[in-house]
Chain A
Amino acid sequence: MNELYQRRLQRHLRQMLKYLRLVFNDHFVIALMFFVGGLGLAYSNWLKTVGPRDTWILFVIGAFLWLGLRIGRIATLIEPADPVFLLPRERDFQEYLGHAWRYSWWLAQLVQVALVVLTMPLLVLVDHFSGLDLVMVVLTQVLLKDFQLTVSMIRLYDTTAATRQLFKSSWSAPWSSWMTWVVSLLGVGLTLFAGPWEGLSGSLVLAIGFRFWFRWLQPRITVAWRADVKLEANRMLGIYRFFNLFTDVPMVQGTVKRRRYLDWVYRWLPADQRHAFGYLFSRGMARGTEFSNLVARLTVIGAVLLYFSGHGWLAMALDVLFIYLIGFQLLPFYKRYDNIVFTHIYPVALKRRLANFQRLLTVVLSVTAIIFLIAFWASNASLVEVGILTLINAFEIYLLVALYAKVRLA
C-alpha cells in the first residue's frame, strides 16, 4: 500500500509538473516576475505608512490567516475504480490513507508557514510582536491546520457506527464542517486579540484532542469509499480549474460559447467577399474560449499591474511588454482554420485572408491598449504621459501587425 501511494504520488507530481510548465511558460514567468515585484514594492511602500494605531489591520490579518487555513487538503489520490478493486483490503487501505495524510500534512504546513511569514512585518508594526511571539503565531497556525487536517481525515471515514456506540444515540454527525471553521476562527482571534500564549495553548489542546479522538475512532470506523472518490474528484477539478485560469490545461479543452451579447459588435464589420475571413475570424476569436480567455486574462493582469506600477518608465515598459505578449500569442489563431478544407477552396485570395486577420489583430490590440491607457491614466499619470504612451502603443501595434505578423504568417 505504501508502494501504491508512492507510485500514484509520483504520477500525480509528474502530471502537476506538466501543468506547471504550461502555466509558467516563458512569457508568463516574465509577467509574473513583474507582477510579484510590483506587488512586493507596493506592499513594502504601504508598510511604511502603517503604525500601531491602525488596529483595523489586525482584523485583516485575522481574516487572511483564517481564510488561509482553507489551503491544503488531503490528497488521497483515490481513483474511481478503487472501491471495486481495493474494497477487500479495507485495513490496508487505512495505511494508504496514512501515507496520503503525511504527504498532504507537510505540503499544507509549508503553505501555512509562508502565509504567516507574509503577515509578520504587520504584526510587528501594529501589535509590537517579539521574535518569540512570532514563532508562537507560526506554531498556532500549524496546530490549527493540523486540527483541520485531522477533521478532514476523520471525514474520510464512515464514523456513524462508532459515534452511535459512544453516544448511545442516532446523532451521527458530531462534528460538522462549519464548526471546524468557527473553532479555527476562535484560535486565530485568540492569538491576535488575547495574546500569542493564549492562542497557542488553545490550538494545542484542540490539535491534541482531535488526534486522540481520531486514534480512538480508527479501529472502530470504515473507509467511506464513495464519498472519498467524490472528494478527490472535486479536489482535482479545483486544481485543474486553477491551472486553467493561466493556461489551457489539456484536460479542460477550449470550448465554444455563443456569447449572444457580442452580436451587436459584428454588425459594425464590413460584410463582403473581401472581408469573408474577417467574418469568420471575428466570431471565432470572440466565441472560442481558447484565445478570447487568453486576451482577457492578459489584459486584466496587465491593467492591474499597470495601475500599481506608478506612471514612470516601468509602467510604460509593462504596457509595451503586455501588448507584445498578447499580439504574439494571438498569431497562431491565423492558422486555426487551416485544417478545414473550405478555408482553402473558398475563392478568396490568401492576401485577403491575411489582411482580414491583420485587421482583427489591430482591433483587438487597440482595445487592449485603450484599457491599458485608462489604467495608466487612473494611476495618476499626467495627460502628457498618457499621450506619449498612446503614441508608443500605436507605433508598437503598427510594428506588430504590419511588419511582424506579415513576416511570420505570410
Chain B
Amino acid sequence: MVLTISHLVGGYSQIPVLKDISFDVQPGELVGLIGLNGAGKSTTINHIIGLLTPMKGTITLNDVTLAQDPQAYKAQIAYIPETPVLYEELTLKEHLEMTILAYGLDHAAAWERATELLKTFRLANKLDWFPANFSKGMKQKVMIVCAFMTNAKLFIIDEPFLGLDPLAVHDLLHLIATVKKRGAAVLMSTHVLDTAEKACDRFVLLHSGEVKTQGTFTEIKANYPDAGDSLNDIYLSLTGVTRDE
C-alpha cells in the first residue's frame, strides 16, 4: 500500500470540508479522484502533499506520516498542480536542476531521463528560456517533465487533461503506464471522464466531502446497475440524485 488515507477530516478553516474520508492507492495502480467542483478533490490533494494538516485521521505513505519524518514523506511524492506554477527567475534548464537538487537525484541518471522527456514534449530546444513566459500547455509540460524525472513512489496529478494537446495527453498516459510498471502509484483528479474511464484502474468518487463510492469501473457499475453504461452516465446520475435532495 503506497498511500493510505483513513478517516481523514480536514479543510482550510475550522469547518471541515472533508468529512471522514478513507481510501488507498496500491503500488502500480492509477486511481482516479472524481467529483464536482467543490467536492473536496483539491482539499484531499493538499492534505496529501502536506500543505494542510489533518484535523482527524491519518495519511501514511509507505508507513511514514508527514509528522514522523517530513523529509522521507515528501521525498516520495511528485506533484503536478492543476495550474502550472514556476519560478519566474529560473530557466527551463534550471528548473530541472532545481528538481534534481531538491530531491537529491543522481545527476547523470536524472538528466538522461529529463532529456528523454524533453524530447517527448518538444521542449529540448527551449532549455535556456524562462518557462514563466510559456503558454499554459507548455508550462504544464514543464511540470510533467519535472515530476517524472524523479523517482517518486506516489505521483499526484491534479486535472492533467485540460490545456494539453491530444498528443501530450497520449504521451502523459504512456508515462503514467511506465511509472506504474516500476511499481509507483498514481493518484489523478480529473473531470475528463471518458479519458479517465479508459486509463484509471480504480475510481474514488467524492461528493460534498465524502466518498460516495469507490472501486473499479465494473464494481461501480455493478453497484449502480440503473445508472448507465459509461462513467459519465454514472457520475451524472449519482450527482443528479444528490441534487434533488
- CB of B49 within 8 A of CB of A256, answer no
- CB of B90 within 8 A of CB of A345, answer no
- CB of B94 within 8 A of CB of A344, answer no
B87 part of interface (Cβ distance < 8 Å): yes
A325-354 contacts to B, CB under 8 A, are 337, 340-342, 344-349
- CB of B103 within 8 A of CB of A345, answer no
Stretch at the interface among B6-14, B71-79, B211-219: B71-79
Q: Name the distance in Å between A217's Cβ and chain B's nearest Cβ.
A: 50
Interface string of B140-181 (1 = CB under 8 A from A): 000000000000000000000000000000000000000000
- CA distance in complex: A344, B73 (Å): 12
Interface string of B29-70 (1 = CB under 8 A from A): 000000000000000000001110000000000000000001
- CB of B103 within 8 A of CB of A344, answer no
Interface centre among B74, B89, B90 (most CB of A within 10 A): B89
B90-122 contacts to A, CB under 8 A, are 90-91, 94, 97-98, 101-104
Chain B residues within 8 Å of A284, by CB: 87-90
- CA distance in complex: A273, B99 (Å): 9
B130 part of interface (Cβ distance < 8 Å): yes
Chain A residues within 8 Å of B102, by CB: 273, 276, 342, 346-348
Q: Name the distance in Å between A350's Cβ and chain B's nearest Cβ.
A: 8
B137 part of interface (Cβ distance < 8 Å): no
Also in contact, A347 and B101, with CB within 8 A (given A284-B89, A287-B89, A341-B51): no
Candidates A275, A288, A341, A349; contact of B71 at CB < 8 Å: A349
Instruction: Please list 25 pairs of residues, one from A and one from B, whose beta carbons are closer than 8 Å in the complex, sorted by A's number.
Output: A256-B130, A258-B91, A271-B97, A273-B102, A276-B98, A276-B101, A279-B94, A280-B90, A283-B94, A284-B88, A287-B89, A288-B88, A340-B85, A340-B86, A340-B87, A342-B85, A345-B49, A345-B50, A345-B51, A346-B102, A347-B73, A347-B74, A347-B103, A347-B104, A349-B70
**Would you list the 10 A-B pairs with minimal beta carbon distance, nearest first?**
A273-B104, A346-B102, A347-B75, A347-B74, A276-B101, A287-B89, A276-B102, A284-B89, A347-B71, A345-B49
A26 part of interface (Cβ distance < 8 Å): no
- CB of A279 within 8 A of CB of B89, answer no
Task: List chain B positions with a Cβ less than 8 A from chain A.
Answer: 49-51, 70-75, 77, 79, 81, 85-91, 94, 97-98, 101-104, 130, 132
A253-285 contacts to B, CB under 8 A, are 256, 258, 271-273, 275-276, 279-280, 283-284
Candidates A280, A344, A345; contact of B98 at CB < 8 Å: A280
Candidates B70, B86, B89; contact of A283 at CB < 8 Å: B89
- CB of B101 within 8 A of CB of A273, answer yes
Q: Name the distance in Å between B60's Cβ and chain A's nearest Cβ.
A: 16
Interface centre among B49, B86, B102, B132 (most CB of A within 10 A): B102
Also in contact, A272 and B101, with CB within 8 A (given A256-B132, A344-B50, A347-B71): yes
Task: Count residues on chain A whose CB falls below 8 Å from chain B CBs.
Answer: 23
- CB of B87 within 8 A of CB of A341, answer no
- CA distance in complex: A287, B91 (Å): 11
Q: Name the distance in Å between B139's Cβ and chain A's nearest Cβ.
A: 13
- CA distance in complex: A114, B98 (Å): 55
Chain A residues within 8 Å of B79, by CB: 341-342, 345
- CB of A275 within 8 A of CB of B101, answer yes
Chain B residues within 8 Å of A273, by CB: 101-104
- CA distance in complex: A279, B87 (Å): 12
- CA distance in complex: A275, B101 (Å): 8
- CB of B81 within 8 A of CB of A346, answer no
- CA distance in complex: A276, B98 (Å): 6
Chain A residues within 8 Å of B88, by CB: 256, 284, 288
- CA distance in complex: A127, B130 (Å): 60
